[in-house]
Amino acid sequence: MNKKSMTQTSKFLSLVLRHQPEAAGITLDSHGWADVPALLGGMTAAGCPVDTALLEEIVRTDEKQRYSFNAEHTKIRANQGHSVKVDLNLRPVAPPEFLWHGTASRFLDSILREGLKPMSRQYVHLSPDTGTAEKVGSRHGRPVILQIAAQQMAQDGYLFYQAENGVWLTDTVPPQYIMNGCELRRESSSDDERR
């Protein structure tokens, strides 16, 4: 299979496992898992032929590590990015001091005003490094990399999760935790003044 065909197959797999399982005539269980034989048959019936070897190759070579198999390789799921409601059984994890979010410059004013929201996904996605954030932001236009005061958010009660592929997830990032250069844009409160 050529690279273009493999990319198209991977994109369809992403659509099915994250957003529209019905596009391949399958269902996901409550934890996002799809039955591999049903997925292969459904994708093939939908005009995107795939066999076990190709599916294994897509999972193994995906640079973003989007997918995981169960131990027996009888089930597969996306590691994060769902717009359909699934419970990935993620447990809260203490984040590092800072995480990053890549976006396009055209969204910057809105983000600085309203914070980061999951939009159509279950969580806001944050990157562990600036390089990854830049790649993500580049997909949407001229990239802007935002530094997030993740440790401070956690201390203030916000929960963080880490997907199997290293992507950090949280419900929302209020604007006061988005760094402006090296300065944290926090709104003054009596609690802050007492610190």
Tell me whether strands 161-162 and 168-170 are parallel, antiparallel or unpaired.
Answer: antiparallel
CATH number for position 41: 1.10.10.970
Contacts of 162 (CB under 8 A, 6+ apart): 90, 93, 168, 169
Task: Take residue 73 and report the two structure tokens written for it.
Answer: 């390789």
Question: Model pTM?
Answer: 0.72
CA–CA separation, 56 vs 39, rounded Å? 13
Q: Is the pLDDT reported for residue 185 higher than 80?
A: no
Residues 52 and 117 occupy one common structural domain: no
Residue pair 154/117 in contact by the 8 Å Cβ criterion: no
Residues 116 and 177 occupy one common structural domain: yes
Residue with tokens 């880490």: 162
Could you tell me if residue 56 is inside a domain? yes
Q: For residue 104, what pLDDT is reported?
A: 87
Number of domains composing the chain: 2
Could you tell me if residue 93 is inside a domain? no
Q: For residue 184, what pLDDT is reported?
A: 37
- Summarize the confidence of residues 99-114 as an average pLDDT: 91
Tell me whether strands 178-180 and 168-170 are parallel, antiparallel or unpaired.
Answer: unpaired
Task: Take residue 84 and report the two structure tokens written for it.
Answer: 């359909």
Residues 113 and 158 occupy one common structural domain: yes
Q: For residue 180, what pLDDT is reported?
A: 59
CATH number for position 144: 3.20.170.30
Residues 180 and 105 occupy one common structural domain: yes
Residues 139 and 105 occupy one common structural domain: yes
Residue pair 62/10 in contact by the 8 Å Cβ criterion: yes
Of 78, 66, 132, the residue nearest 103 (C-alpha): 132
Q: For residue 162, what pLDDT is reported?
A: 94
**Domain membership of residue 132 as a residue range:** 99-184
Average pLDDT across the chain, whole number: 88
CA–CA separation, 49 vs 1, rounded Å? 11
Residues 107 and 144 occupy one common structural domain: yes
Residues 159 and 125 occupy one common structural domain: yes
Could you tell me if residue 85 is inside a domain? no
Residues 105 and 179 occupy one common structural domain: yes
pLDDT, tens digit (0-9, with 9 covering 90-100), for 49-72 = 999 999 999 999 988 889 999 999
Could you tell me if residue 143 is inside a domain? yes
Q: For residue 1, what pLDDT is reported?
A: 65
Could you tell me if residue 194 is inside a domain? no
State which of 46, 78, 110 marks the end of a domain.
Answer: 78
